[in-house]
Amino acid sequence: MNLRRDVFQAIADPTRRAILMLVATKAMTAGAIAANFDTARPTVSKHLQILTTCELLEQEYNGREIYYHFNPEKMKEVSDFIEPFRKMWDNRFNKLESIMRSRHSKK
């Protein structure tokens, strides 16, 4: 549960979302990622650390360089998280629909 909350907090930040979108297209080094932002390099590093801790990003060592990969499986957790809420409303609305249809046909 805590981990899931971390994923939500991670994607709540606009810069981190921008990083995710960037890395989703191809694996990149921290330097290449930072080059896309006006923010200071340490700030970008901090964002990368948060995204890596909650597993939205994965690190891959290539020689001396570290490449960041996007982890779509983790992103799926976010939509799975919403699914019970959607189901709850879907059940309610299905019920609303059947109640109103039977009332209407009786009239």
Partner 1 sequence: MERKTHVLAEAGRQDIMITRSFDLPVVLLYEAYTTPDIIEQWMGTKVLQFELKRSGAFEFETSDPKGQVVFTAGGVHHELVEHQSIIRTFEMNMPGFETQLEFLHFEAVADASSKLTMQIIYRSPQHRERQLKLPFAFGLNMAHNRLQEIFDSLK
Nearer to partner 1, 14 or 63 (CB): 14
Angle CA 24–46–66, to nearest 5: 55
Question: Residue 50 Cβ, how far from partner 1 at the closest point, in Å?
Answer: 14
Question: Residue 43 Cβ, how far from partner 1 at the closest point, in Å?
Answer: 17
Instruction: Name the DSSP letter for residue 63.
Output: T
Q: Which residues of this protein are in contact with partner 1, per CB under 8 A?
A: 5, 8, 11-14, 17, 78, 81-82, 84-97, 99-101, 103-104
Give the full edge-to-edge strand order of the sheet including 28-29: 28-29, 65-70, 57-62
